[in-house]
């Protein structure tokens, strides 16, 4: 009996090992939702394979932080040729690994901030924002939100990208009294969830007036559900920005293919796949413009963003402030 | 020529020794791999220490409350017979088998700000009650663990021979003092350990319902160390702290445990001449409402669009069912081998997996596997194996006493007939153990269905399990489809459990 | 013959010594107060407990170290003599070999033996479908089928009513004894000993005494035994 089960486990192993491919394989590590059926992965894979004569494989790993953790676990021996899906808060740590090469791509990015990083190539971006429903009276700043009775759900900065984004947002918008802001926000926060999905699900179930997400989130509801009632609050102090980037491994065994893909990132085929699958702004607006549901979205006046090194420097202090304020 | 008095034992021991070795290698191997890579341990910060205290506190309170409520419910179930009792006992086990996020959303649909309870209070003009806070953590943990506690304690109750109840009733002796208190003294400490350890590694439940960072558990601190600073030393150190707490609590509990006397199935109703019928049914109804209402909400949420689910969900469901069946088979084989072997190492292996952080286990296995094969290629077998290890503590609690009981009843007969080793396993043990083996396979399969576990580090795009697919749907804003997937998951988990638990009993005599 | 050579059985707060010989053939009863070690003595002969000193010989061979299944001994306990998940014929087959595979001729042998104990046609029944007396007969049938020369009866009929018990004792005497078996029978009722046992071993005060003729022993018991019998 024992033996049979071991054998069936071994059988699973064998089945899982695919046949060796004849065409060159370009391996891209990304986060799970990028690679999934509903993410940009499938469309981009098809478009790139049509022109490269290669097999493009997206390997999905949790979220951006999990992706970086996997790259760090694998170290220089990694099988990845390209890592796609790190964001501005992870770049400083990724750069320290010293395993990425210059991308050599130049393009006119439609980013809210200037970008000239030689290794990390942006492919999409978005603003963090609180998403609510139209019938709720919208506050106009974090401070006003903190003074109100509105209830919000946020994510934990220790386990979630948007959670970390809010931490940085408060630091960037209120550098001198971030601690006071967190203390004032404490009674607005219904709860803190480990990830975005839990928080967003709780908001949709009516557990809070608003949830920390992106300015682009309402676009999904307009497009997929014909639901105009979801809105993102525009705050006058500006919104913290998330820029998602890709980078090429220095010792990839497919340097030409990797270069070809890095160039492909700036192409219309790649960029036009982003809005309706990743629900973010493309780094370069595609020729056909943005989809209709993106037109009416809140567009913040000010884009806030710490340079990678500065973000790393303020992290520990900000986290302690957050913990202390919310642990009262 | 003096010889010591050794009981003769004709059961197979070497497979159990292999199982012990396998379990220890798969638990400590990854931890050592992480420590190796981290090049040592880290010291604990003040925040870590407060996480340690909060973790111990919430786990202890959750376990005490779960057991406190389970005792009257189990007693009521033990002494009342009614239509659908068996179905109810099975259904009451459902929360234990739910994936965490599904359970949280189900609980919130009942106890949340927009939930049933608050709507009801609002209609009466009463103020809202908030579930968020320390009490929320306890409520959620009781929701998850009350079924387990009821089941384990119910086993203790039906194991009391009915003649003793008749004797006590005939003598007008206080049943509580002469029968029930001694039984509980033997069953409760072990139950406490299991529930304490389940809550020990809780993370999403504690954080979400705890309402914020004051509800930081050790597991969350591990998460933070791993993700935010890639501090492997910190993650491994915190895992060692979890193991140490596990060891201390387990030792304390085993030290105060009287004889561990569990056995038979749960079908038997003990004829009793005490207690109030209405009191018993009040307890049963309250427990059923508390445990089943959130499930009903999960069903209602998921039902409308279940036929519109994308085909990839069904493929993932099939994959999960296959993993669950492999994992169930493996669990039963490991658990049986361990139960036949016996000894303190088996107790360790049957307890320890609960103390291990899934994240550290996954990371360590990844470090071990990566130099040799592409981790994506072994994701499914590794998942099945880890799921088996994680199910062992629950399965062993059903199997070890059953093996002991069979040996006590038929061991000498088998010895006298010279039935040893495989012949004894095939002719005596396997047929006599059908029920606990079926139950074990069911628990293992259902736990495996709901587990996201190590697959998050190993997974690739095209080989997702059902829980992972559900998370992907949520991540893609498709909350309705995710709710339907959760319902599929719930149905499959319960279905697998039911088939194993019931199916193996068919034509099992006496 | 069965030889217990300076046998010593020691437990936490109990000890029993036996230095005696039981001749081949016939029924020997073991009597004595309860808790005195009658069953323990049988367990040691069957191999379920290891003695702290001394040896057990059967037919001149030292069997002290042999596991129970390899001792040319059959034993019937007070209960659990049949596996409830196996049919009567499967239970009987285990008396022949350690497997559930029937070989040619097995079915005939089983039918003959069942006939002898009055259970003709009961082959496919499960033990739960048998009365207490029928269960005892089925267990006895397995012992007969096994054909082992030494049979130990640890009060297997204690739960039966007096008439049924007498019937079973007679059946044992009739069947086992005519097969030439040596039978050791624990009983707490001297009547049983008087009914079928030619010899009786008295277990008293930590000592198993050498077998003596049952009739004279019960007619004129030693003092200590008289107290037990009288009480």
Q: Please list the helix, strand and coil fractions of chain A in percent, rounded to the nearest 5, in that order.
A: 45, 20, 35
In contact, B412 and C47? CB cutoff 8 Å:
no
Q: Please give the pLDDT value at position A6.
A: 39
In contact, B474 and A197? CB cutoff 8 Å:
yes
**Residue A169 backbone phi and psi in degrees, to 5:** -60, -50
Q: Please give the pLDDT value at position B272.
A: 59
Statement to judge: residues B30 and B48 lie in one domain = no
Q: Is the dihedral of CA A137, A140, A145, A148 positive or negative?
A: negative
For the ranges A291-295, A307-311, B166-170, the lowest mean pLDDT is seen at: B166-170
B492's CB contacts (< 8 A; 6+ apart) are B317, B320, B321, B449, B466
Distance CA A164, CA A166 (A): 5
Is the per-residue pLDDT at A13 higher than 50?
Answer: no
Is the per-residue pLDDT at C152 higher than 60?
Answer: yes
Is the per-residue pLDDT at B262 higher than 60?
Answer: no
**Nearest chain B alpha carbon to A97:** B230
Say if B501 falls within a structural domain: yes
pLDDT tens sequence across A73-118: 888 888 899 999 999 888 998 999 999 999 999 999 999 999 999 9
**Nearest chain A alpha carbon to B313:** A37
Q: Give residue limits of the domains in chain A.
A: 20-125+243-293, 126-240+296-326
CB contact under 8 A, B461 and A60: yes
Statement to judge: residues B250 and B192 lie in one domain = yes
Q: Please give the pLDDT value at position B1.
A: 28
In contact, C138 and C127? CB cutoff 8 Å:
yes
Correct CATH for C23-50+66-72+148-231 of 3.40.50.300, 1.20.1250.20, 3.40.50.360, 3.40.50.1100: 3.40.50.300
Average confidence score pLDDT of chain A: 90
B456 to A299, B437, C194: CA distances (angstroms): 35, 30, 77
Q: Please tell me the total number of residues recorded for chain B in this structure.
A: 510
Say if B6 falls within a structural domain: no
Statement to judge: residues B32 and B49 lie in one domain = no
In contact, A231 and A171? CB cutoff 8 Å:
no
3-state SS assignment for residue C131: coil
Asked if domains A20-125+243-293 and A126-240+296-326 share a fold, the reply is yes
CB contact under 8 A, C75 and B1: no
Cβ within 8 Å of B, C 69-88: 69-70, 73-75, 77, 80-81, 83-86
Q: Determine contact: B252 vs chain A, CB below 8 A.
A: no
- Look at residues B270, B298, B326 and tell me which one is the last residue of a structural domain: B298
- Look at residues B262, B277, B298 and tell me which one is the last residue of a structural domain: B298
Q: Pick from A85, A117, A81, A95: which is nearest to A250 by CA?
A: A81
Statement to judge: residues B201 and B338 lie in one domain = no
Q: Determine contact: B213 vs chain A, CB below 8 A.
A: yes
DSSP B180-216: IHHHHHHHHHHHHHHHHHHHHT--HHHHHHHTSGGG-
- Distance (Å) from the alpha carbon of B253 to chain C's nearest alpha carbon: 27
List CB contacts (< 8 A) between B471 and chain A.
Answer: 32, 197
Of A61, A151, A327, Cβ closest to residue B213: A327
Q: Determine contact: B510 vs chain C, CB below 8 A.
A: yes
3-state SS assignment for residue A127: strand
B50-67: average pLDDT: 94
Statement to judge: residues B45 and B34 lie in one domain = no
Average confidence score pLDDT of chain C: 88
- Distance (Å) from the alpha carbon of B427 to chain C's nearest alpha carbon: 8
Among A144-158, B229-243, C63-77, C157-171, the range with the most confident prediction by mean pLDDT is A144-158
Q: Determine contact: C50 vs chain B, CB below 8 A.
A: yes
Among A270-274, B291-295, B341-345, the range with the most confident prediction by mean pLDDT is A270-274
With the CA atoms of A296, A302, A307 and A312 taken in that order, what torsion angle do they form, in degrees rounded to the nearest 10?
A: -90
Statement to judge: residues B118 and B75 lie in one domain = yes
Of B105, B329, B463, Cβ closest to residue A205: B105
Distance CA A230, CA A210 (A): 10
3-state SS assignment for residue A282: strand
List CB contacts (< 8 A) between B413 and chain C.
Answer: 77, 80-81, 83
Domain membership of residue B166 as a residue range = 41-298
Of A5, A36, A204, Cβ closest to residue B326: A5
Neighbours of B137 (CB within 10 A): 28
Is the per-residue pLDDT at A186 higher than 60?
Answer: yes
Q: Determine contact: C14 vs chain B, CB below 8 A.
A: no
Is the per-residue pLDDT at A17 higher than 70?
Answer: no
Q: How many domains does chain B have?
A: 2
Cβ within 8 Å of C, B 425-454: 427-428, 431-432
Neighbours of C195 (CB within 10 A): 17
- Distance (Å) from the alpha carbon of B321 to chain A's nearest alpha carbon: 13
DSSP C186-227: E-S-HHHHHHH-SEEEEEETTEEPPPEEHHHHHHS--HHHHH
B386-414: average pLDDT: 86
A157 to A192, B42, B205, C160: CA distances (angstroms): 9, 22, 17, 75
- C–B touching, 3+ CB–CB pairs within 8 Å: yes
CB contact under 8 A, C67 and B7: no
Statement to judge: residues B71 and B216 lie in one domain = yes
**Nearest chain C alpha carbon to B417:** C69
CB contact under 8 A, C83 and B416: no
Cβ within 8 Å of A, B 110-139: 112-114, 132
pLDDT tens sequence across B447-497: 888 876 666 667 655 678 898 888 889 888 998 999 999 999 989 988 998
Of C9, C11, C53, Cβ closest to residue B1: C53
B376-390: average pLDDT: 84
CB contact under 8 A, C98 and B423: yes
CB contact under 8 A, C68 and B409: no
Is the per-residue pLDDT at A2 higher than 60?
Answer: no
**Nearest chain C alpha carbon to B413:** C81
**Residue C158 backbone phi and psi in degrees, to 5:** -60, -30
B384's CB contacts (< 8 A; 6+ apart) are A9, A12, B323, B326, B327, B330, B448
Distance CA A116, CA A302 (A): 20
- Distance (Å) from the alpha carbon of B236 to chain A's nearest alpha carbon: 14
Q: How confident is the model at residue A149 (pLDDT cuts 50, 70, 90)?
A: very high
B25-51: average pLDDT: 87
C86-103: average pLDDT: 90
Of B457, B460, B479, Cβ closest to residue A204: B479
- Yes or no: is domain A20-125+243-293 CATH 3.40.50.300? no
Residue A281 sits at the vertex; the CA angle it makes with A277 and A286, to the nearest 5 degrees, is 85
First to last CA, chain C: 34
For the ranges B54-58, B139-143, B166-170, B400-404, the lowest mean pLDDT is seen at: B166-170
Q: Please give the pLDDT value at position B347.
A: 82
Between A260 and B5, whose confidence is greater?
A260
B317 to A13, B295, B383: CA distances (angstroms): 19, 19, 15
Check residue B252 and give left, alpha or beta (phi > 0: left; psi -120 to 50: alpha): alpha
pLDDT tens sequence across B317-341: 999 999 899 999 999 999 999 988 8
Statement to judge: residues B116 and B168 lie in one domain = yes
**Nearest chain B alpha carbon to A190:** B211
- Helix ranges (H only) for B370-478 are 379-416, 421-424, 430-432, 434-450, 455-458, 466-475
Statement to judge: residues B361 and B380 lie in one domain = yes
CB contact under 8 A, B416 and C50: no
Statement to judge: residues B226 and B122 lie in one domain = yes
pLDDT tens sequence across B59-82: 999 999 999 999 999 989 888 888
Of A41, A202, A205, Cβ closest to residue B461: A41
Q: Please tell me the total number of residues recorded for chain C in this structure.
A: 231
- If one looks up domain A126-240+296-326 in CATH, what number appears? 3.40.190.10
**Cα atoms in the Cβ-side hemisphere of radius 13 Å centred on B51:** 28
Q: How confident is the model at residue A284 (pLDDT cuts 50, 70, 90)?
A: very high
B195-214: average pLDDT: 86
Strands A281-282 and A121-133 turn out to be antiparallel
B434-456: average pLDDT: 82
B462's CB contacts (< 8 A; 6+ apart) are none
- A–C touching, 3+ CB–CB pairs within 8 Å: no
- Distance (Å) from the alpha carbon of C64 to chain B's nearest alpha carbon: 11
pLDDT tens sequence across B231-249: 889 888 999 999 999 889 8
List of chains touching A (3+ CB pairs within 8 A): B
CATH code for position B263:
1.10.3720.10
Chains A, B: CB pairs < 8 Å: 198
List CB contacts (< 8 A) between C83 and chain B.
Answer: 410, 413, 427-428, 431-432
3-state SS assignment for residue A59: strand
For the ranges B172-176, B224-228, B250-254, the lowest mean pLDDT is seen at: B172-176
A252-279: average pLDDT: 95
Is the per-residue pLDDT at A7 higher than 80?
Answer: no
Of B1, B409, B418, Cβ closest to residue C80: B409
Statement to judge: residues B338 and B444 lie in one domain = yes
Q: How confident is the model at residue A259 (pLDDT cuts 50, 70, 90)?
A: very high
pLDDT tens sequence across A236-246: 999 999 999 99
Q: Determine contact: B455 vs chain A, CB below 8 A.
A: no
A81 to A29, A69, A71: CA distances (angstroms): 8, 16, 11
Say if B199 falls within a structural domain: yes
Statement to judge: residues B352 and B251 lie in one domain = no
**pLDDT above 90 covers what percent of chain B?**
24
Q: Which of A15, A45, A60, A75 to probe by mutation at the B interface, max B CB count within 10 Å?
A: A60
- Look at residues B298, B332, B351 and tell me which one is the last residue of a structural domain: B298
Q: Pick from B33, B14, B34: which is nearest to B22 by CA?
A: B14
A116-125: average pLDDT: 95
CB contact under 8 A, C98 and B418: yes
């Amino acid at each position: 009996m024992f033996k049979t089960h071991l054998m069936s486990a071994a059988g699973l192993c064998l089945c899982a090992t695919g046949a060796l491919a004849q065409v060159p394989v370009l391996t891209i590590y990304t986060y799970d939702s990028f690679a999934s059926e509903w993410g940009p992965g499938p469309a981009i894979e098809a478009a790139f394979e049509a022109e490269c004569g290669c097999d493009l494989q997206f390997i999905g790993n949790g979220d951006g932080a999990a992706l970086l953790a996997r790259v760090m676990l694998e170290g220089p021996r990694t099988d990845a040729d390209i890592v796609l899906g790190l964001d501005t808060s992870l770049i400083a740590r990724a750069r320290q690994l010293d395993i990425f090469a210059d991308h050599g791509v130049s393009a006119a990015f439609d980013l809210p901030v200037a970008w000239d990083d030689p290794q990390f190539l942006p492919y999409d971006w978005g603003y963090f924002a609180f998403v609510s429903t139209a019938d709720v009276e919208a506050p106009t700043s974090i401070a006003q939100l903190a003074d109100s009775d509105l209830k919000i759900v946020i994510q934990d900065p220790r386990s979630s990208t948007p959670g970390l984004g809010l931490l940085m947002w408060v630091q960037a918008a209120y550098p001198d009294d971030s601690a006071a802001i967190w203390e004032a926000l404490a009674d607005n926060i219904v709860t803190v969830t480990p990830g975005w999905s839990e928080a967003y699900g709780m908001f949709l179930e009516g557990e809070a007036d608003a949830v920390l997400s992106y300015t682009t989130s309402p676009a999904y509801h307009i497009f997929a559900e014909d639901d105009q009632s979801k809105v993102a609050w525009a705050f006058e102090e500006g919104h913290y920005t998330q820029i998602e980037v890709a980078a090429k491994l220095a010792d990839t065994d497919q340097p030409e293919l990797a270069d070809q893909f890095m160039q492909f990132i700036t192409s219309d085929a790649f960029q036009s796949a982003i809005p309706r699958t990743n629900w973010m702004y493309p780094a370069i607006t595609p020729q056909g413009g943005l989809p209709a549901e993106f037109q009416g979205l809140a567009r913040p006046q000010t884009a806030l963003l710490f340079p990678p090194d500065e973000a790393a420097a303020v992290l520990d202090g900000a986290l302690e402030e957050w913990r202390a304020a919310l642990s009262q | 020529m003096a010889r010591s008095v050794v009981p003769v034992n004709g059961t197979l021991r070497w497979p159990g020794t292999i199982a012990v070795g396998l379990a220890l290698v798969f638990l400590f191997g990854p931890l050592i791999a992480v420590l190796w890579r981290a090049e040592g341990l880290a010291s604990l910060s003040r925040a870590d220490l407060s996480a340690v205290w909060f973790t111990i506190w919430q786990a202890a309170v959750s376990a005490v409350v779960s057991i406190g409520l389970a005792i009257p419910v189990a007693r009521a179930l033990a002494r009342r017979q009614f239509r659908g009792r068996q179905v109810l006992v099975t259904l009451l086990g459902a929360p234990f088998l739910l994936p965490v996020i599904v359970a949280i959303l189900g609980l919130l649909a009942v106890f949340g700000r927009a939930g049933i309870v608050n709507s009801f209070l609002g209609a009466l003009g009463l103020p809202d009650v908030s579930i968020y806070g320390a009490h929320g953590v306890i409520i959620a943990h009781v929701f998850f663990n009350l079924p387990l506690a009821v089941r384990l304690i119910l086993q203790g109750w039906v194991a009391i021979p009915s003649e003793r109840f008749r004797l006590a009733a005939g003598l007008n002796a206080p049943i509580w003092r002469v029968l029930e208190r001694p039984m509980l003294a033997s069953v409760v400490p072990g139950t406490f350990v299991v529930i304490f350890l389940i809550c020990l590694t809780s993370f999403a439940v504690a954080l979400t319902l705890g309402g914020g960072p004051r509800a930081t558990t050790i597991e969350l601190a591990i998460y933070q160390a791993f993700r935010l600073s890639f501090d492997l030393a910190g993650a491994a150190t915190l895992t060692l702290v979890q193991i140490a707490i596990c060891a201390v609590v387990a030792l304390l509990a085993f030290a105060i445990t009287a004889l561990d006397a569990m056995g038979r199935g749960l079908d038997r109703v003990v004829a009793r001449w005490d207690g109030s019928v209405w009191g018993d049914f009040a307890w049963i109804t309250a427990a059923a409402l508390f445990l089943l209402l959130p499930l009903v909400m999960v069903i209602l949420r998921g039902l409308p669009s279940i036929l519109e689910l994308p085909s990839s969900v069904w493929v993932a469901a099939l994959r999960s069912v296959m993993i669950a069946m492999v994992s169930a088979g493996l669990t039963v084989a490991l658990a049986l081998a361990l139960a036949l072997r016996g000894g303190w190492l088996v107790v360790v292996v049957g307890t320890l997996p609960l103390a291990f952080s899934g994240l550290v286990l996954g990371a360590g296995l990844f470090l071990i596997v990566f130099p040799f094969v592409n981790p994506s290629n072994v994701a499914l077998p590794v998942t099945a194996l880890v799921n088996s290890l994680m199910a062992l503590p629950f399965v062993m609690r059903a199997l070890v006493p059953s093996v002991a009981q069979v040996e006590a009843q038929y061991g000498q007969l088998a010895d006298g007939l010279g039935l040893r080793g495989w012949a004894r396993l095939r002719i005596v043990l396997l047929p006599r153990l059908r029920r606990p083996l079926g139950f074990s396979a069911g628990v293992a399969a259902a736990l495996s269905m709901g587990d996201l576990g190590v697959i998050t580090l190993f997974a690739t795009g095209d080989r997702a399990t059902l829980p992972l697919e559900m998370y992907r749907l949520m991540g893609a804003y498709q909350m309705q489809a995710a709710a339907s997937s959760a319902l599929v998951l719930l149905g499959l988990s319960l279905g697998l459990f039911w088939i194993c638990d019931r199916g193996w009993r068919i034509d099992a005599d006496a | 013959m069965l030889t217990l050579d300076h046998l010593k059985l020691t437990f936490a707060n109990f000890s029993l010594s036996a230095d005696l010989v039981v001749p081949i053939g016939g029924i020997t009863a073991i009597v004595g107060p309860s808790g005195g070690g009658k069953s323990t003595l049988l367990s040691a002969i069957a191999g379920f407990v290891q003695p702290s000193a001394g040896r057990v010989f059967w037919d001149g061979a030292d069997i002290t170290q042999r596991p129970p299944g390899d001792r040319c001994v059959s034993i019937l306990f007070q209960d659990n003599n049949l596996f409830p998940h196996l049919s009567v014929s499967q239970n009987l087959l285990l008396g022949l070999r350690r497997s559930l595979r029937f070989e040619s001729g097995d079915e005939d042998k089983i039918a003959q033996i069942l006939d002898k104990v009055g259970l003709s046609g009961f082959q496919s029944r499960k033990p739960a479908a048998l009365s207490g007396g029928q269960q005892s007969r089925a267990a006895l049938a397995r012992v007969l089928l096994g054909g082992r020369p030494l049979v130990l009866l640890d009060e297997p009929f204690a739960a039966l009513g007096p008439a049924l018990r007498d019937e079973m004792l007679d059946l044992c005497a009739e069947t086992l004894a005519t097969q030439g078996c040596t039978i050791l029978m624990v009983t707490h009722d001297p009547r049983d000993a008087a009914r079928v046992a030619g010899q009786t071993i008295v277990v008293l005060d930590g000592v198993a005494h050498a077998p003596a003729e049952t009739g004279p022993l019960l007619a004129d018991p030693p003092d200590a035994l008289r107290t037990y019998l009288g009480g």
